[in-house]
Structure 1
Amino acid sequence: MHIHNLGFPRIGAKRELKFSLEQYWRGDITQSAFLTQCQQLREHNWQLQHQAGIEWLPVGDFAHYDHVLNTTLILGLAPERFTAHNSNALDLEFRVGRGQAPSGCQCAASDMTKWFNTNYHYIVPELSEQLLASSEKVNAESLILQCKEASKISDKTKVVLLGPISYLHLSVSKNADKLSLLPALLKRYQTLVTQLSNAGVSWVQLDEPILGLELEQQWQDAFSKAYQQLNKGKLKLLLTSYFSSIDHHIDLIKTLDFDGLHIDTVAQETDVSAIIDTLPQHWVISLGVINGRNIWKTDLVSVYQKLLPLYRHLKNRLWIAPSCSLLHSPVDLQQESKLDAEFKSWLAFAKQKCEELALLKYALVHENSDEITLYSSSALARCVSKRIHNDSVKSRVNGLSKEDFHRKQSFLERKVVQQKTLNLPVLPTTTIGSFPQTGDIREVRAKWRRNEITQAQYQSLIEEEIRNTITKQEDIGLDVLVHGEAERNDMVEYFGELLEGVAFTQFAWVQSYGSRCVKPPIIFGDVSRKQAMTLSWINYAQSLTDRPVKAMLTGPITILCWSFVRDDLSREEVANQIGLAISDEVVDLVENGTQIIQIDEPAIREGMPIKQSEWQGYLNWATAAFCLSAAKAPAKTQIHSHMCYSEFNDILPAIIALDADVLTVETSRSNMALLDAFDQQAYPNDLGPGVYDIHTPNVPEVDWMVALIEKAQKYIPIERLWVNPDCGLKTRGWTETKLALDNMVTAVKKLRAAYSN
């Protein structure tokens, strides 16, 4: 039996990669210094895993920005607009990922979207016949170098690669038949595999996570075609899938030329015993038995009891691993010094999950469960702890009726009332909520947390920032303002800290994209609101201006999806608990005169199950939880929502069912292509398609935004169009923010003048 890992968090226990990236982008460190820091971080990650008991170390899971982008660069498939400029490989990488690098040469970054049903974002490959036929060469040098680095720590290393079918499936292409590009793509993969084989690499983990999908026959045929043609040479290939069961594709999988199969046994129930006897007898069977996407300590005794008969049957053919890459887990629980002993005993982060595998292997090999019985006792104690149960919350959820999930008036009725109340111009302008989080703001919050300033001093400093933000928005000329969220560290963590049944950590960071990291709350018990969470800040902001100020709330599904969630209760029930807490906040805001309330749901698409046949069940309760949070708002209160990176074709009926008065969406990177969904079904409410991409520091031109707004008018009448950036401005600087918003308002003025004529 062997222990291996599918991937490790690349950001570092204290976000070392984030800070190195940002220093390099600012020009504070040289490229050589940055690359040295990355090498040191990779080696540290391997050391952590090796010391925890991992035998086969993953190589190639580390990325400066994104592992899918790594694949694109290794295959020599960066689009021409990025390679047209003379620059080094590192700056090419950052131009593709963020549209800008220290060497300059700004250009439109590649699209970015969610990695399956996670909160991680990958850079979408852009493929074409011309690009695949180009002379750009495949180069495995970086992977081979990293194998040499890792071999100093362990003699067992395993290269991690995104497989060709998943890579193609996740890409975008102007070719009507994307699969027509497969032969040319396979040639590049063949070159890559040959280079690795010639370099003496022994195992390659080929990730094909789309096997969890209910694939159309043409994509199933593509698997057969690809893996009949691919000559693996001296390599051994481990076919790896995760995030969903693959039982429905076993008849296909067993015909493919591999040397092993990894099965995620955590994400979805799977009949491992029935599967393994149908597979080739020489295959390694890797079982993902530790949850790679959550932070709860594993009940190793339960896993041991399931695995023991399989181990007796398979012996050395059995490998054990986390369910998926530990990219989605924080690094090390040992850093957490402020969690109480009982709560901390319930948790396991990436390092601890590796240690769990070592404990499990020892128990299986020696058929001795004494040590894991002691280890698992705290995991079992959590299930019966009084800390996780609140009878009044349960009673409130059980008492909900159909009326609690709907607003009383239709959108058309509400729009008439709201327009009379708000008197907004055509193409009203606003932002998504957050404004730049400067170092000064973060330092104020840090001092307050360290008790270095009083509550009164903290409030005064935050109010000063709110006042400045309101003034700047008025000077720019925005119609609907926001308070800027200076008091908030993160849109989910902020609310998590103010809700009962939710805990937060010091260092449980996970990567969202590039240098952007989030620290998800831990929903461990029944959720309720302690007190008003946003009221005082919104009231203060509104007192400074005659223009409407949007109150900013995070929706129940986003809080659910962007938290580590308890596993002893259905996600639907947890969502309804959160929905009631947000509803209580809405009621307080309305009673205090707030006219516009935004309830953000950027995560609603990513929460969907992998298999399409299971989507509707999820969407039913997910949209219901959002509606529950907004249902008590009267007709005069305008409810906004915001969504990120959603494939609207998949979920348009559910988006409509949210019944938000105004929906703002991210569409700028796709050049409004996401709105094509509205050709199939018209969107009935107001819409604010983002007119510029905030994930890049580039300042958009006026004419560019005018063109996007005019394109949006093909889908939504101008009377129902809003104009806004495509996401919050938290990660941007004030200089670029003001320039971009000035241009946005100028673009709107041009269009209003044309419209009035």
Structure 2
Amino acid sequence: MSKKLLLPTSIVGSLPKPAWLAPPEKLWSPWKLEGDQLLEGKQDALRIALQQQHLAGVDIISDGEQTRQHFVTTFIEHLSGVNFENRKIVKIRDRYDASVPVVVGEVARQKAVFVEDAKFLRKLTEKPIKWALPGPMTMVDTLYDDHYKSREKLAWEFAKLLNEEARELQDAGVDIIQFDEPAFNVFFDEVNDWGMAALERATEGLKCETAVHVCYGYGIKANNDWKKTLGSEWRQYEEIFPKIQASNIDIVSLECHNSNVPLNLIELVRGKKVMVGAIDVATNTIETPEEVADTLRSTLQFVDIENLYPSTNCGMAPLSRNVASGKLSALSAGAEIIRKEFGM
């Protein structure tokens, strides 16, 4: 990116884990190793994820979320004030029931959660690295609050803790910190009342680039069923993009390929960098480079090419490793088609 690479590619977050580390193709997959072996196994998996991205020609490297079970709960696990033993069933994103931890007292961050992992990855590659953290609203929506009794109050507490983590990740050499906020696509009033403000609190004082990822979810049945109810046009972004446009967030990550999102909604965040989801994570079909290029090309009337960052729609944890690798290669090859068209 420092050399002004056109269309720098990246993944949103997760890659499939090796079968020796956790049962494949599922979320919240339990670890197969323990203690020091688990630590070594996570680091080995991180090396594999890095190699997978390097071989596919990905430009901005992520950890593939190899050291965490889930994009939200792993961060929450490291906080005090949350009980993981006596769980409750809640409806996540107004979509599906899940057994979640309970906030029983004041939440606090006792130590860094991902900083050592980020330092490890930083030593392994000279490419820019991006690290994903859960956003405050999505964290609130992924547990049961028996203490604050207010989604807004809890979100502000989480925002402070996320900011502590983000500052340390920045100091560890992370170039882009991405906050995952799929809840933004559901709770529009809360986004506009306090959700965006809480997210900006999480980014306070950061000098590295920041991104917000707002998608329609992993390719799991509950999400796919929900999408079928959304009609021929998915206009959720229309509700939240004006607030994001007015924020200090640098990059907006959204879902495009095989979605019913009207692409002209991207115009609402004109001037921001846009991570365009050009890979569908809800299918095992591997896109052709031409399909990826078509998706990217179709967005160029709404985002300047220097602000276009080709990416995946969402994380790929539920996919097989072969399918994920094929999709990564297609992403890079599709971006290269567009670069050649522009003589870059």
TM-score, normalisation: structure 2: 0.85
Q: Within 5 A, what are the aligned runs for 1:30-69?
A: none
Counterpart among 229, 235, 241 of residue 652 in structure 1: 241
Q: Which amino acid aligns with 2:236?
A: E
How many angstroms apart in 2 are the aligned matches of 1:469 and 1:561? 29
Which residue of 1 is the match for residue 204 of structure 2?
631
Larger strand proportion, structure 1 or 2? 2
SS at match of 2:132: strand
Counterpart among 3, 6, 14 of residue 434 in structure 1: 14
Closer, same or farther: CA 688–662 of 1 in aligned 2, 3 Å: same
The question of 1:674 aligning with 2:245 is answered no
How many angstroms apart in 1 are the aligned matches of 2:74 and 2:171? 23
Structure 1 gaps of 5+ residues are 1-418, 609-614
Once the 2 structures are TM-superposed, how far is the Cα of residue 657 of structure 1 from its aligned partner?
Answer: 3.3
Which residue of 1 is the match for residue 304 of structure 2?
717
Higher relative contact order (Cα pairs below 8 Å, separated by 6+ residues):
2
Conservation of the 8 A alpha-carbon contact between 1:666 and 1:690: yes
Counterpart among 193, 206, 211 of residue 640 in structure 1: 211
The question of 1:584 aligning with 2:138 is answered no
How many angstroms apart in 1 are the aligned matches of 2:97 and 2:38? 25
Which residue of 2 is the match for residue 686 of structure 1?
273
How many angstroms apart in 2 are the aligned matches of 1:481 and 1:522? 33
Conservation of the 8 A alpha-carbon contact between 2:245 and 2:269: no
The question of 1:446 aligning with 2:15 is answered no
Conservation of the 8 A alpha-carbon contact between 1:586 and 1:632: no
SS at match of 1:478: coil
Closer, same or farther: CA 463–708 of 1 in aligned 2, 3 Å: same
How many angstroms apart in 1 are the aligned matches of 2:51 and 2:282? 24
Closer, same or farther: CA 470–678 of 1 in aligned 2, 3 Å: closer
The question of 1:601 aligning with 2:181 is answered yes
Conservation of the 8 A alpha-carbon contact between 1:441 and 1:486: no
Once the 2 structures are TM-superposed, how far is the Cα of residue 507 of structure 1 from its aligned partner?
Answer: 7.3
Conservation of the 8 A alpha-carbon contact between 1:597 and 1:638: yes
Q: Which amino acid aligns with 2:117?
A: W
The question of 1:728 aligning with 2:308 is answered no
How many angstroms apart in 1 are the aligned matches of 2:92 and 2:22? 19
Conservation of the 8 A alpha-carbon contact between 2:118 and 2:172: no
Closer, same or farther: CA 735–511 of 1 in aligned 2, 3 Å: farther
How many angstroms apart in 2 are the aligned matches of 1:715 and 1:424? 20
How many angstroms apart in 1 are the aligned matches of 2:178 and 2:77? 20
How many angstroms apart in 1 are the aligned matches of 2:143 and 2:91? 13
How many angstroms apart in 2 are the aligned matches of 1:447 and 1:682? 43
SS at match of 1:688: strand
SS at match of 2:200: helix
Conservation of the 8 A alpha-carbon contact between 1:445 and 1:458: no
Q: Which amino acid aligns with 1:639?
A: T
SS at match of 1:722: strand
Q: Which amino acid aligns with 1:718?
A: I
Counterpart among 176, 192, 201 of residue 619 in structure 1: 192
Q: Which amino acid aligns with 1:647?
A: Q
How many angstroms apart in 1 are the aligned matches of 2:191 and 2:324? 37
Q: Which amino acid aligns with 2:240?
A: I
SS at match of 2:311: coil
Once the 2 structures are TM-superposed, how far is the Cα of residue 666 of structure 1 from its aligned partner?
Answer: 1.3
Conservation of the 8 A alpha-carbon contact between 1:492 and 1:520: no
Deviation string 1:614-640 (CA, Å, 9 cap, x unpaired) is: x2x651311110000011202xx1112
How many angstroms apart in 2 are the aligned matches of 1:669 and 1:566? 39
Which residue of 2 is the match for residue 17 of structure 1?
none
* RMSD (CA atoms): 2.4
How many angstroms apart in 2 are the aligned matches of 1:506 and 1:550? 34
Q: Which amino acid aligns with 1:527?
A: V
Which residue of 1 is the match for residue 26 of structure 2?
none
How many angstroms apart in 2 are the aligned matches of 1:440 and 1:517? 28
Q: Which amino acid aligns with 2:105?
A: G
Counterpart among 657, 661, 670 of residue 250 in structure 2: 661
Deviation string 1:356-397 (CA, Å, 9 cap, x unpaired) is: xxxxxxxxxxxxxxxxxxxxxxxxxxxxxxxxxxxxxxxxxx
Closer, same or farther: CA 754–618 of 1 in aligned 2, 3 Å: closer
Conservation of the 8 A alpha-carbon contact between 1:557 and 1:603: yes
Q: Within 5 A, what are the aligned runs for 1:243-254?
A: none
How many angstroms apart in 1 are the aligned matches of 2:97 and 2:50? 27
Identity of aligned residues (%): 24
Once the 2 structures are TM-superposed, how far is the Cα of residue 684 of structure 1 from its aligned partner?
Answer: 2.2
Conservation of the 8 A alpha-carbon contact between 1:433 and 1:485: yes
Once the 2 structures are TM-superposed, how far is the Cα of residue 518 of structure 1 from its aligned partner?
Answer: 5.0
Deviation string 1:161-195 (CA, Å, 9 cap, x unpaired) is: xxxxxxxxxxxxxxxxxxxxxxxxxxxxxxxxxxx
Conservation of the 8 A alpha-carbon contact between 2:72 and 2:133: no
Q: Which amino acid aligns with 2:140?
A: L
Structure 2 gaps of 5+ residues are 24-28, 217-234
Once the 2 structures are TM-superposed, how far is the Cα of residue 656 of structure 1 from its aligned partner?
Answer: 1.5
Aligned residues: 319
Larger helix proportion, structure 1 or 2? 1
SS at match of 2:213: strand
Which residue of 1 is the match for residue 41 of structure 2?
461
Which residue of 1 is the match for residue 283 of structure 2?
696
Conservation of the 8 A alpha-carbon contact between 1:490 and 1:518: no
Q: Within 5 A, what are the aligned runs for 1:413-432?
A: 422-432=2-12
Closer, same or farther: CA 512–523 of 1 in aligned 2, 3 Å: closer
How many angstroms apart in 2 are the aligned matches of 1:527 and 1:543? 32
Conservation of the 8 A alpha-carbon contact between 2:20 and 2:32: no
Conservation of the 8 A alpha-carbon contact between 1:432 and 1:728: yes
SS at match of 1:665: strand
Once the 2 structures are TM-superposed, how far is the Cα of residue 751 of structure 1 from its aligned partner?
Answer: 0.8
Conservation of the 8 A alpha-carbon contact between 1:511 and 1:517: yes
SS at match of 1:504: strand
